[in-house]
Structure 1
């Protein structure tokens, strides 16, 4: 497929009419009394409250009697067969949610995207859709250039599928994908051997643990995690592994201090509203010795951390596995920046959920 074909395919996905428009209009109509539920605890679901009649939220893990923003929580097995369900699950497993609803006998299911399209602006598209469309409208030619430079057909197909999903929230584009986060960062083409590994955004050590299992002849691991709670968990988890240096700092493009949200689990991130002040460093300052494999998942801070790693990237030419899904522009920005250092890097793309999260760009 040429760059022009790629761009035309994306434009067609945006322009395509959404399915289930009749059901969407019925649910939006004043006075409708059909049982209606939402699934997915997120901003999109929250935005529907007060905009249409909702009887509850579907949550199989909520305790009996639980309420979320005024909506009673029920299990999927408790749904009335005639109920309509609005699927607001967009980040991890929208396809699996649709399948579970079908298995439960629920036939009237529509996505937040379909509801938004039928509402003539009264219901907002999912945040990821709004942001991705804005980026696509401004930088379609650069997206096409990115597509054209990817190293294999699997990468090009991944970009086409993930970008179409991010532009439409249509789960049909993700039906060929599975949630396989245990495989994240560890593709066969990396050919891991005797690596000096940097785990940037180490969380509780889960990625480093998997790295140690897959690459037992590694030379050294440097794990960066600014959250004290997460770092304690990582040290406990990795106590039986050798040659791991734990760095209680955030990686960025300069040393200093910055606010950090340490209460968000694996999504803990640098943020202006953070509850904790943490130390920052650069990879170039923190590690004097060469490194051979750098993984980064920093909740949108990757481009800053890469800028602070330029010496290592320029001199060591390490393998890179960089999360690119946090912002609409991350795919382009990270691709452009790394290739500005080494234009001959081969670029691969892989995806590890059925939604918009967990896309990784690899540079070899």
Structure 2
């Protein structure tokens, strides 16, 4: 008799991707029986019994707690957010009372509650995990909470539950693994898929590389001196700075493409202050292009949040930071053919690749393409690039301890 996922869920620590395929297939089978297979049974019983009256306490005044409030509004009753440091001020967190740990324990003694841990860093995450275990309070992480409430798709596609997509495309994802060029990429692929499918971020820790290795230190290829680099989603210049470090400042050109008005000021200051390589030689050109990218030229609404959060919108909102931006095809935007393309543009990667097909077809640039904003990114992006050129090697790396920053490499 074959084992189910629950009997095989110990982490694979030997780097054996073939073992991960077996675990992945068992997890898919378990999901098909019940998407709740990875959720604590007591939480399932409470929600099945109470439905929209289920009382929920969020653990931590964090980004993920805020995201849950946004997505779960009206589906359950969020009665408090635990933050022992802020509770004494009697403040609220996005309209929800901030309470102490002791207040949560009193509430749990009086009625059945579900706690949802919005903390992702180990110290605070472990504190709440130990507290809820000690007092027998069912606790879910953010991904489990979305799964329990069947919140899919989310209003923000970047935090969607990928479980249904992965289960229905399991055969295609296994086929993708055979197309990858190295075993570590295959190990990374199934670690990422298992993390999303089972709502267990521990799978990602098994394969994650440090954030500082993103794009240019993946171990798959190195940028050469003399590159023409298209930094698509230049943000606050981290990627360009990492590229300059990787090439010792010797390059032909960098196009820093960034539509966010807040970030553009940061980039302009960086370009002004950049002094070039500390050796005698020709200084490379850095150019800021303040547009968004897509498959067609046009105009779209954009949230100018600054940092990493700004993104295109399907329709405008009444937010003050929502303003239209020009959208351009990469093929018609650049004054030369890039030798290296990086993309991290909040889910617009596939459309931007479609607008760069001439560069890809005729120039065969190396590419580092973010593939974590949508459940379909890994398949759709790799299929599109392979449809243009079948001579790329493909690799995958994951560069944080979080759900963010899975990257496809074409080289």
Which interval holds the TM-score relative to the shorter structure?
A: 0.7 to 0.9
**1:285 Cα deviation (Å)?**
1.3
Of the three residues 28, 37, 57, the one matched with 1:11 is 28
Asked if 2 retains the 8 angstrom alpha-carbon contact of 1:87 and 1:94, the reply is: no
Matches of 2:360 and 2:84, distance apart in 1: 45
Distance in 2 between the 1:86 and 1:75 partners? 15
State the shift of 1:130 in Å: 6.4
* Alignment check: 8 A CA contact 2:254 2:287 kept: yes
Deviation at 1:359, TM superposition (A): 1.0
Q: Structure 1 residue 234 and structure 2 residue 267: aligned?
A: yes
In structure 2, the partner of 1:211 is: 243
TM-score if structure 1 supplies the norm length?
0.82
Q: Return the offset for 1:238.
A: 3.7
Larger relative contact order, structure 1 or 2 (CA cutoff 8 Å, min sep 6): 1
Alpha-carbon contact 2:24-2:194 (below 8 Å) kept: no
- Asked if 1 retains the 8 angstrom alpha-carbon contact of 2:21 and 2:190, the reply is no
Find the aligned partners of 1:35 and 1:134 in 2 and give their Cα distance: 25
1:184 maps to 214
Checking the alignment, whether the CA contact within 8 Å between 1:296 and 1:302 is kept in structure 2 is: yes
Query: How far off its partner does 1:352 sit?
Result: 2.0
Instruction: Tell me how far apart the structure 2 counterparts of residues 349 and 235 of structure 1 sit (CA, whole Å).
Output: 32
CA contact (8 A) 1:323 1:358 kept: yes
Aligned twin of 2:230 = 198
State the TM-score, normalizing by the size of structure 2.
Answer: 0.74
Tell me the secondary structure at the aligned position of residue 244 of structure 1.
strand
Unmatched runs of 5 consecutive residues or more in structure 2: 1-17, 109-113, 277-284, 317-321
Question: Counterparts in 2 of 1:313-352, with a 5 A limit?
Answer: 313-352=360-399
Kept in 2, the 8 Å contact 1:179–1:353? The answer is: yes
Aligned 1:1-364 pairs, distance under 5 A: 1=18, 5=22, 8-12=25-29, 14=31, 17-18=37-38, 20-22=40-42, 25=45, 36-39=57-60, 40-46=64-70, 47=72, 51-52=76-77, 54-58=79-83, 64-73=89-98, 85-88=115-118, 93=120, 98-102=125-129, 107=134, 108=137, 109-112=139-142, 114=144, 123-125=149-151, 127=154, 131-176=161-206, 180-186=210-216, 187-194=218-225, 195-216=227-248, 217-241=250-274, 242=276, 243-263=285-305, 265-274=307-316, 275-364=322-411
State how many pairs are aligned: 356
- Evaluate the alpha carbon distance shift between residue 81 and residue 354 of structure 1 in structure 2; reply closer, same or farther with a 3 A threshold: farther
Cα offset for 1:304? 1.2
| Contact 2:262 2:306 (C-alpha < 8 Å) held by counterparts | no
3-state DSSP class of the match of 1:265?
Answer: coil
Higher mean displacement: 95-104 or 146-155: 95-104
C-alpha contact (below 8 Å) 2:28/2:197 kept by paired residues: no
Partner SS for 1:320: strand
2:256 partner SS: strand
Judge conservation of contact 1:349–1:362 (CA < 8 Å) in 2.
yes
Separation of aligned partners in 1, 2:291 and 2:146: 42
- Distance, in Å, in 2 between the alignment partners of 1:35 and 1:124 is 16
- How far is 1:183 from its partner? 2.6
Q: Equivalents in 2 of 1:147, 1:179: separation in Å?
A: 19
RMSD: 3.6
CA distance in 2, matches of 1:229, 1:116: 32
CA deviation string 1:145-191 (max 9, x = no partner):
11211111211111111112222322332342568433321213221
